[in-house]
């Protein structure tokens, strides 16, 4: 931590600041410049609250040096985190493609769209049973009934499932059905929920909050990781900006930043990142080129009949075409999205090996 003092700081103020640092068991390194003094603090920074010390008379600004997230950082663990979910390896050379409808709408609908997604190249099935909706008057999801339909679709296709959980109490129920717990953007800083997801020891897909900085997002992951649950995926789904042409602004920069700062797999969500189906393909391909470890995409047989988010859903044929295009780009950057026919084979290898 570095303290930049005011040009007007008095000697008693400087002395008080240095005394406070030393009381906390840290060492003080003052640098006396022409106009002002700067104090370097060496030692266990966690013993000094930077906001507290920033309030002491004479302090202009506090510059933190150590990254506040620990377990998530590359410095803590240099190599990429990889883990398998029901036979699908995440964070490895092969990209993972998660697909399915925004909401679970019924048993046969779910099984049918699951088969269509699998044939088109998906390896993980998505679908919402509990839906966070801006309006209390909008469809709120089928609840446990939806979870059962997801489980049936998994049985029918062999694909693991990812679905959202919205409150700590429901984590055990959702974890009973799902292979991956999704924490939505609105809940990225719902700390009781993060703790519950951490304790469940289930893989977690952690969506970025609409306005989350990298620091905040990685600290949210840290809430999960502190429970020794290391199976966390960071999902970029767009941020809120002044732009109105798209529902969100997909932050493509976040992909290389995350790959640099942390060791967790990075998943792109171009459906929410654009909010309009006609832009999903371009941004999906961009995400693969930028180094994402996977994608999550909304697919629906009849988007204009979807119970939610039809505006950003792809039809199965468009999704299949996109998977082929993404495969070509994945190969161009030294990675792959295996053909559907090879997926079962890979699954057996992963399952036997893990």
**Mode of pairing for the β-strands spanning 204-207 and 180-183:** parallel
Please report, as residue ranges, which positions from 56 to 95 form the binding site for a second copy (by CB under 8 A): 56-57, 63, 65-66, 68-70, 75
SS3 category, 212? coil
Please report, as residue ranges, which positions from 210 to 229 form the binding site for a second copy (by CB under 8 A): 210-211, 213-216, 219, 222-223, 226
Q: What are the residues facing 249 on neighbouring strands?
A: 239
Using CB under 8 A as the binding rule, whether residue 133 contacts a second copy is answered as yes
**Mode of pairing for the β-strands spanning 83-85 and 27-32:** unpaired
Using CB under 8 A as the binding rule, whether residue 173 contacts a second copy is answered as no
Three-state secondary structure of 183-215: ECHHHCCCHHHHHHHHHHCCCEEEECCCCCCHH
Using CB under 8 A as the binding rule, whether residue 144 contacts a second copy is answered as no
Please report, as residue ranges, which positions from 323 to 342 form the binding site for a second copy (by CB under 8 A): 325, 328-329, 331-333
Using CB under 8 A as the binding rule, whether residue 311 contacts a second copy is answered as yes
| Of 76 and 351, CB closest to a second copy | 76
| Of 69 and 149, CB closest to a second copy | 69
**Mode of pairing for the β-strands spanning 294-298 and 266-268:** parallel
Closest by CA to 335, choosing from 94, 169, 58, is 94
To a second copy, the closest distance from the beta carbon of 257 in angstroms equals 5
Using CB under 8 A as the binding rule, whether residue 166 contacts a second copy is answered as yes
Among 307, 314, 319, 320, binds a second copy (CB under 8 A): 307
| Of 157 and 284, CB closest to a second copy | 284
| Of 286 and 346, CB closest to a second copy | 286
To a second copy, the closest distance from the beta carbon of 186 in angstroms equals 4
Using CB under 8 A as the binding rule, whether residue 127 contacts a second copy is answered as no
The two three-digit tokens of residue 281, written as one number: 């393909």
Q: Does residue 150 come out as left (phi exceeding 0), alpha (psi in the -120 to 50 range) or beta?
A: alpha
Piece of the chain touching a second copy by CB under 8 A; list 86-94, 115-123, 152-160, 283-291: 283-291
Among 178, 308, 314, 319, binds a second copy (CB under 8 A): 308
Piece of the chain touching a second copy by CB under 8 A; list 80-88, 89-97, 116-124, 235-243: 235-243
| Of 272 and 347, CB closest to a second copy | 272
Pairwise CA distance, residues 293 & 297, whole Å:
14
Among 11, 46, 352, 354, binds a second copy (CB under 8 A): 46
Residues near a second copy (CB under 8 A), total? 106
Using CB under 8 A as the binding rule, whether residue 182 contacts a second copy is answered as no
To a second copy, the closest distance from the beta carbon of 147 in angstroms equals 16
- Whose tokens are 């459906």? That residue is 271
Among 168, 336, 340, 346, binds a second copy (CB under 8 A): 168
Closest by CA to 208, choosing from 234, 230, 226, is 234
Element (H, E) at 186: none
Pairwise CA distance, residues 1 & 49, whole Å:
10
To a second copy, the closest distance from the beta carbon of 327 in angstroms equals 9
SS3 category, 115? helix
Closest by CA to 165, choosing from 152, 151, 176, 153, is 176
Instruction: Give the length of the chain.
Output: 354
Pairwise CA distance, residues 329 & 210, whole Å:
28
- Whose tokens are 């469809």? That residue is 139
Among 7, 10, 47, 108, binds a second copy (CB under 8 A): 7
Among 11, 79, 134, 354, binds a second copy (CB under 8 A): 134
Q: How many CA atoms lie within 13 A of 324 on its CB side?
A: 7
């Amino acid at each position: 931590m570095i303290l930049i003092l005011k040009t007007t700081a008095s000697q008693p103020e400087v002395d008080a600041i240095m005394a406070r640092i030393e009381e906390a068991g840290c060492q003080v390194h003052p640098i006396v410049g022409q106009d002002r003094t700067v104090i370097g603090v060496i030692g266990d920074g966690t013993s000094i609250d930077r906001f507290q010390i920033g309030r002491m008379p004479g302090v202009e600004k506090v510059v933190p040096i150590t990254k506040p997230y620990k377990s998530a950082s590359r410095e803590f663990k240099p190599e990429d985190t990889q883990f398998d979910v029901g036979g699908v390896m995440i964070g490895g050379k092969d990209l993972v493609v998660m697909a399915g409808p925004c909401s679970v709408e019924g048993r046969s609908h779910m099984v049918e769209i699951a088969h269509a997604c699998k044939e088109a190249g998906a390896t993980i099935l998505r679908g919402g049973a509990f839906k966070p909706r801006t309006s209390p008057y909008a469809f709120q999801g089928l609840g446990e009934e939806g979870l059962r339909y997801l489980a049936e679709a998994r049985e029918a296709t062999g694909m693991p499932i990812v679905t959202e959980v919205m409150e700590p109490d429901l984590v055990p129920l959702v974890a009973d059905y799902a292979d991956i717990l999704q924490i939505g953007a609105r809940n990225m800083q719902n700390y009781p929920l993060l703790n519950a997801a951490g304790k469940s020891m289930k893989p977690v897909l952690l969506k970025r909050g609409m306005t989350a900085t990298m620091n905040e997002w990685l600290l949210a992951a840290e809430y999960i990781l502190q429970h020794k649950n290391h199976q966390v995926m960071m999902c970029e789904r767009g941020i809120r900006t002044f732009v109105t042409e798209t529902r969100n602004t997909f932050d493509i920069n976040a992909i290389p930043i995350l790959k640099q700062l942390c060791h967790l797999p990075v998943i792109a969500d171009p459906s929410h990142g654009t909010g309009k189906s006609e832009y999903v393909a371009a941004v999906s391909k961009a995400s693969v080129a930028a180094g994402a470890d996977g994608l999550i995409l909304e697919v629906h047989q009849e988007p204009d009949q979807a119970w939610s988010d039809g505006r950003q859903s792809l039809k199965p044929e468009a999704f299949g075409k996109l998977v082929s295009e993404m495969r070509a780009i994945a190969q161009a950057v030294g990675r792959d999205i295996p053909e559907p026919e090879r997926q079962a084979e890979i699954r057996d290898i992963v399952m036997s090996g893990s």
